[in-house]
Amino acid sequence: MKTYVPRKGEITKQWHLIDAEGKSLGRVAAEAAKLLRGKHKPEYTPFLDCGDAVVIINAAKIRITGAKMQQKMYYRHSGYPGGIKETRLDTMMKKHPTRALELAIKGMLPGNRLGRKLATQFRVYADAEHPHKAQQPAPYDIKQ
């Protein structure tokens, strides 16, 4: 028996549209990461880009459970001594409503070249308007 590895021309890409309104942040991020990796396809290969493109709309209306809005912190560092910055989730959602979802999806992708490539294949929009109507993304339903 030989292991089947799809060639570059055999991998077909599709576009998926996820409406995040009223859905949990982690649930949406996990489903988007699964679609980006291609884990929903029978020809999934861990070291190849066999996933699909994902468009997420209504990210500003995503559901955050518990006390995460006041307690969850995002950290970044400037590289200088004492240069750590922290931002609460509620502040981030007011200023950049798509960034929390983008960071959650990127955190669920591999931390290598493949993950950086996959991170370019999704777009997150705060409202229902998006410029990808020409790609005809198929609506993807997330089960709650």
Cβ atoms of residues 4 and 124 within 8 Å: no
List Cβ neighbours of 15 (8 Å cut-off, separation of 6 or more). Answer: 52, 53, 54, 55, 132, 135, 136, 137, 138
CATH code for position 112: 3.90.1180.10
For residue 139, the cross-strand partners are 17
- Per-residue pLDDT tens, the chain, 144 aa: give them: 888 899 888 999 999 999 999 999 999 999 999 999 999 999 999 999 999 999 999 999 999 999 999 999 999 999 999 999 999 999 999 999 999 999 999 999 999 999 999 999 999 999 999 999 999 999 999 986
Residue 57 lies in a domain: yes
Domain assignment present for residue 33? The answer is: yes
What single letter denotes the amino acid at residue 98? T
The answer to whether residue 47 sits within a structural domain is yes
**pTM check: above 0.85:** yes
79 domain residue, yes or no: no
| 21 located within any domain | yes
First to last CA, the chain: 40
Strand 84-88 to strand 73-77: parallel, antiparallel, or no bridges (unpaired)? antiparallel
Classify residue 74: in a domain, yes or no: no
What pLDDT was estimated at residue 103?
97
Domain housing 39: 14-64+101-139
Residue 4 pLDDT: 87
> Has residue 30 been placed in a domain?
yes
Number of domains forming the structure of the chain = 1
Q: Is residue 75 part of a domain?
A: no
| Confidence (pLDDT) at 65 | 92
* 86: three-class secondary structure by DSSP: strand
E strand or H helix at 88, and its extent? Answer: strand 84-88
Check: CB of residue 34 under 8 Å from CB of residue 40.
yes
> What pLDDT, on a 0 to 100 scale, did the predictor assign at position 25?
96
